[in-house]
Every structure is written in C-alpha cells, then in structure tokens.
Amino acid sequence: MKTSLSAPVADKQPLQCKAHGTKWIDDYAWLRADNWQQAMKTPQTLPEPIKRLLQQENEYFSKVMADTETLQQQLIAEMRGRILEDEDSIPDKDGPYEYSYRYIKDAEHPIYLRKKPGSEKEQITLDINHEAKDHDYFDHDLVEHSPDHKHMLWSRDTTGAEYYCASIRDLDTGKDSQYTIDDVDTAAWADNTTLFYTRVDDNHRPNRVFRHTLGDDPALDRLVYEEHDARFYCSVYPSASKSFIFISTGMNDQDEVWYIPTDNAQSPPVIIEPRSDEVEYSVEHQNDRFLILTNADNAIDFKIVETPVHAPARANWKDLIPHRQGSMLRSLEVYENWFLFFVVENALPKICYSNNDDNIRSISFQEEAYALSMTTGYEFNANTIRFTYASPTTPDQTYEYNLENSKRVLLKQQIIPSGHDSNNYITRRITATSHDDAEVPVTLLYHKDTVIDGSAPCLLYGYGSYGSSIPADFSGNRLSLVDRGFVYAIAHVRGGQEKGRSWYEEAKFGKKINSFYDFIAAGETLISEGYTAQGKITIEGGSAGGLLVGAVLNMRPGLFGGAIADVPFVDVLNTILDDTLPLTPGEWSQWGNPIESEQAFNDIRAYSPYDNVTAQAYPPILVTAGVSDPRVTYWEPAKWVAKLRDTKTDDNVLLLKTNMSSGHFGKTGRFAELEDSALSYVFAIRVAQEFSVQ
C-alpha cells in the first residue's frame, strides 16, 4: 500500500536525555507542548508549530484516503443498518419508579426516562441529545437519582479531556441547579440532600473526596479525604444496601477502603484495612458483615472473605469462598439474601451465586467462546438478576434469572435490523504456543463460506495490559469485515486475566515482552493452521494495545501486512519517566519506576516502540490521536510517526489522523463513532487488496 503523495516531515530539534548514566537524543521531544494541560482543555491554545504539523498530517491523511470515501460511507451505512434506531432499555424498578433510557431514530444519544409501575405516562428526566446540541463533542457520565427520587446528579465533558462538570437537576421542575461542580470523577448520594464526590486535580488525578449539601455553594464543600500518594486514585460508591458510602483509593496492585454510614453522613470515614504492598480488596455490605473480594494471603486468583461491620480489619477476615488457583474471581455483587461472583476459567466466564449456605450454584454456557455480563437492580431485597449472553456469532440476549428456582426468562434479544443469521458464521477458540510454551487463547470469527486455506485476509486484535480481559462478545461492526472474507481474531495475550491472575502477572515489569511474543505466536498460528498467510494479517490495538502493536512491528514487521494503532501508548520510556503526567505515578506498579530503578529503565527502554524504531521495512500503518487525550497524550503517536518516517526503509503508507476536538475515545454518539470503525476497516481492506494510490 503505497502513495506518490509527499508526506509531512517533522522538524528535528535534538534534545539530549539522560538517566542512570545512559544518554540518548530525542529529536521530537518538542512536540510535547509546554502548555499541554491548557491545550488539553482548550485545543486552540496548542502552540502554532505543533498545531501546523498535526493539521498537515490530517491533510495528508485526507488526500491519501480520499478515494476510499465511498467505501467508508458504505461501511458506515452497513454498520448503522445493524443498529436498532428506536430502542428502549429494560426498565429497572427502584421503589415508586421504573428507570430506563431510550434511543430514538437519528438520535446520537440516549433519553433518560422514568414512570410509575403499571403507568403508561413517562417523564423525561434527561435528554442528552438536547444537552449536546450546541457541542461538537459531548460525553455524559454520571446519571444518579437521589434516594427520595426528587433530584438527579448528572455530568458531562464537552472537550474530550475527561474533565466532567456536574449539575443537580430538580426532577419536579426539570431544571438544573444554578451552580455546577467542576472536575467531578465519581459521585454517590448518601441521603436525600448529601452527596459525596471525587474531584480531579490539575494533573487529572482524582485524589480528593468532598461532601456536598444540596443547595450549598460548592466552594463550601467539606474535604472528607485527600490522597497524598500520586500513585493512588480515589473513587466513591454506595453499598448495594445503601447503608454505607465507600471511599476506595488504590492503584494497580494495592487498595485501601474507608466507609461512612449514610445515616450519619457527617461522620468521618473509618478505615477497613490499611494499604499494604500487593494486597488488593474491594468491599460490599450485607446485613451485619462486610463481604470482601481480595487477593490477600497469596490468593493470586482472589477469594471472598467476610468480616463483622463493627470489626472489619484484616485480622477478622474469614474465608467465605476460598482461593482456587486458575479460577479467577473477577467481581462481587450483593443482595440482602444473596451474594454473587463472576468467575473466569480458561478464558471462559460463568456467574456463581449463593444464599449464604454452602451450596454454590453457577450459570455457564457451552460455546467454544462467549461473553457474559451481570447486573443487579436498585432494590436490595431482590431475588432476581439480569445477565446478558453473547458470542461473536450471537447478538446480545438479556435474561432475568430467578436465584431461588434457577429459572431464566428472555427479556430482550438484540435486533439486527438489516438481518443476521448466526448460522452463517463460525466461532472458534484455538491455541497458539508462545516462545516459552505458554498456551495463548485466540478467538476467531469468520463467515461459513470463507475458505480456510491461507487465502483469507485477517484482522488480529490485542490489548494485554492492566489485567483487562477481552470478552468474546458480539459486534455488528465486525461483520462488515467478516462478510468480505476476513478472519477476525482476538489474541488473549498475557497482560489480561483470561487465564487467571498469573496471566496478568506474567506480563508486568521485565516480563512485559511476553505479551509481544504471545501476539506474534497468535499470528504465526493463524498462518500455520491455514486461516491466513504471512503478509495478509492487519494487526490492531488501542492505547496500551497500541504499545503491543508498536512493539511487535519493531520485532517482526515482515509477519504483518498492515497495522492500526489507535491512540497508541508508544513513547513509553519518556512517559513513565515524567511524573507530572496524569497517569504516570500510578503506572509504576505496572511497568516499573524508571526514575528510581535502573532495571526498570533498562526493561522499558528495551521494548518502548518509539525508542526501538530501526532502519527496516515496516508495513502500512494507520495511527490515530486526540489532542484532548489525558490518557495517551497526542505527542506520543505524533513523535512515533515522525521517527518512523525518518527511519524506516520502505515506501509504504504511514498515516496519522489527529482528532483536534476530542480525546482518548474519539467521537461521541452511537452513529458518529461508526466513522472511526469504518476508517480502520477501510484501511484493513486496502491492505488486503494491496491497493495503491497513484
């Protein structure tokens, strides 16, 4: 995939860097604007030379991809045709009301509703389409009604920088409070007039918890908790019983939880168990006890313990669901008479539950690969849950499940308006053997008419960081590739938790390279088993998945026909050396601290994609970025592209598309975001066709 068009060339402004006695030159460090914090909130303030280069890259991208516009629009139409435009959520009862949301034809955003059970009369509590109409970017986050159903807290971000502004709406009048609360991250109602919320600081770190009284000036809000360790982030959430507000502060491998009783919201928080190295825990409340999901006492795949509310410290923790290696406990939910937990074994999920006896029941399925999610309702005394089942071939099926008699009722089946026959598609789960004999699960989706003889193009997706597992779920968008003969593959590489906590631990610190070898092994296995051929695989990953893409491109560029790196975390060494950036201190428990540790410095430097670009041929690459992105700052992909252009020996296309008015998650709105998917798929299709722009 080549072009005769001239690509932008970034200026070199050599900056000498030094750490642990090692010196190196960074030619493109100037792309990190000195006013990056201001530019994140107000992109127009980006320094002119940087802005000019990003705009030149966007213009080059538009010219190279101009003749794919028709195909992009065709893909968008196909994807939109799989979305039910008029759709209601399943109502969720809370006392005198049922709460739900609705999408209507041509609307990008949901409308939030409520009504009294049995009544046909609905009240619109919040119309996001109305709120978003004057904004190019609009993302809403919190939508939380008060216990007495008279008020609603809701928040929105209009830049993509993830600084959310919150308002409190009077649900009788439909009007918002005259004041707003800025920079809100999480929030929870304690009672009808008291809110607790976390606020991010100038470095975009949620490190303070405030208490707000309805009607008061937010400037008078009482600081309840402040986290002074920059590695830790705070959040607040209510117990399912609504008896407590929990303040959780934690990082990747360490937690600390405090509680405040909601019947005495003015009281100071009480600690459950002080933080200690590598001990993680989260807390729920049931009657006279706290239930805790934890990895304490070497429970690497986690266990559930109980402890008295009046004496919650670790010394009093008693095993309720003991640790079982290889059976990863992912989450804990609680009702008054039940507790439920989510388990993953060998990359397959199941839901387990008990009514506090020794009989543990479970919900699971028999497909080779599938996804499950579970939701509990507002009402603490319930005996039913909802779960959603899906697979790469099967659209979402939402069931109500009776915990007392194990009966399930199908409440909702995802409708594909343009039509979908699951029998036309095949889902497989295969295994790739990595460099150290680790067995890597790979989920496949392809059309039944696709010939498996090595001739099919393939899109191989991966992530592999932070313990985040990729579910084998349904995506209508993917069908636009699969219907064109692609094999869609997901490599469940180390760094996720698909095979238990050890699957994550084996890709931390100096072991991060295992993720890259796993991904390469997945590609090689797809080739050896005839699903595709060398040079026919386009790889894709976003954020830390972009690190995966960048690293394997340096290691094995000839294995792949193309690459898509979405907001990629590729300037790893410089970012983790910069403790002023929003996420950096909290990242040290994932990658190591290269400021203090020479070993961590050497480990990161050995694989950081930006630092390991070499004079070799790379396949065609599409890179995306967002100026307002606080997670992967825009200069990481911009620097990487500049260095690749200057260093690589091929003439394959290298494209950088920067969204000048959004952040990490691209465009907002259920239809607008299809443009990003269509762009990636068009690029993959062009790679498969070896299309040339002349």
Q: What is the 3-state secondary structure (H, E, C) of 89-144?
A: CCCEEECCEEEEEEECCCCCCCEEEEECCCCCCCEEEEEHHHHHCCCCCCEEEEEE
User: So what's the pLDDT on residue 163?
Assistant: 92
pLDDT band (50, 70, 90) for residue 683: very high
C-alpha span between 268 and 590 (Å, rounded):
32
pLDDT in tens, 197-244: 999 998 889 999 999 999 999 999 999 999 999 999 999 999 999 999
C-alpha span between 87 and 101 (Å, rounded):
9
For the stretch 97-125, what's the b/e string if a residue is b when 16 or more beta carbons lie within 10 angstroms of its beta carbon?
A: bbbbbbbeeebbbbbbbbeeeeeeeeeeb
User: So what's the pLDDT on residue 668?
Assistant: 80
Residue 320, exposed/middle/buried by CB under 10 A (0-12, 13-18, 19+)?
middle
pLDDT band (50, 70, 90) for residue 1: low
User: So what's the pLDDT on residue 337?
Assistant: 95
pLDDT at 265 over 60: yes
Instruction: State whether residue 421 is helix, strand or coil.
Output: coil
The CATH code for residues 15-49+421-689 is 3.40.50.1820
- Closest Cα to residue 139, out of 105, 169, 111, 163? 163
Using the structure block, give the residue that is written with the tokens 């790979």: 442
C-alpha span between 61 and 320 (Å, rounded):
57
The domain segmentation of the chain, as residue ranges, is 15-49+421-689
Task: Confirm whether 664 is a catalytic residue.
Answer: yes
C-alpha span between 258 and 337 (Å, rounded):
24
User: So what's the pLDDT on residue 694?
Assistant: 27
C-alpha span between 109 and 544 (Å, rounded):
28
The helix (run of H) or strand (run of E) holding residue 255 is strand 254-261
Residue 475, exposed/middle/buried by CB under 10 A (0-12, 13-18, 19+)?
middle
Of 566, 664, 676, 677, catalytic = 664
pLDDT at 550 over 70: yes
Contact 360, 353 (CB under 8 A): yes
pLDDT band (50, 70, 90) for residue 542: very high
Of 629, 662, 676, 680, catalytic = 629
Looking at the chain, the whole-number percentage of residues with pLDDT higher than 70 is 99
C-alpha span between 515 and 537 (Å, rounded):
18
In the chain, the largest separation of any two C-alpha atoms, in whole Å, equals 74
Backbone angles phi, psi at 549, to 5 degrees: -60, -50
pLDDT at 29 over 70: yes
Count the neighbouring beta carbons within 10 Å of the beta carbon of residue 216. 13
pLDDT in tens, 135-158: 989 999 999 999 999 999 999 999
Averaged pLDDT score across all residues of the chain: 95
Among positive and negative, which fits the CA dihedral 129, 96, 197, 340? Answer: negative
C-alpha span between 212 and 9 (Å, rounded):
51
Task: Confirm whether 134 is a catalytic residue.
Answer: no
Contact 346, 499 (CB under 8 A): yes
Instruction: State whether residue 606 is helix, strand or coil.
Output: helix
User: So what's the pLDDT on residue 352?
Assistant: 96
Task: Confirm whether 629 is a catalytic residue.
Answer: yes
Crossing angle (nearest 10°) for helices 513-528 and 544-555: 70
- Closest Cα to residue 35, out of 53, 47, 18? 47
pLDDT in tens, 646-681: 999 999 999 999 998 766 666 788 998 899 999 999
Contact 466, 590 (CB under 8 A): yes
Any bridge partners for residue 333, and if so which? 340
DSSP H helices, 170-279, are: none
Instruction: State whether residue 78 is helix, strand or coil.
Output: helix
User: So what's the pLDDT on residue 692?
Assistant: 32
Of 469, 543, 608, 662, catalytic = 543
Find the angle CA(443)-CA(449)-CA(452) to the nearest 5 degrees.
55
Among positive and negative, which fits the CA dihedral 51, 52, 54, 58? Answer: positive
178 secondary structure, DSSP code:
S
Count the neighbouring beta carbons within 10 Å of the beta carbon of residue 319. 12
C-alpha span between 363 and 589 (Å, rounded):
34
User: So what's the pLDDT on residue 691?
Assistant: 37
- Closest Cα to residue 466, out of 345, 591, 326, 341? 591
Count the neighbouring beta carbons within 10 Å of the beta carbon of residue 308. 12
Q: For the residues 14-24, what does the mean pLDDT come to? A: 97
Rg (the chain; Cα; Å): 25
496 secondary structure, DSSP code:
B
Contact 416, 80 (CB under 8 A): no
Q: Which residue type is seen at 522?
A: A
User: How are beta strands 537-542 and 458-461 bridged, if at all?
Assistant: parallel
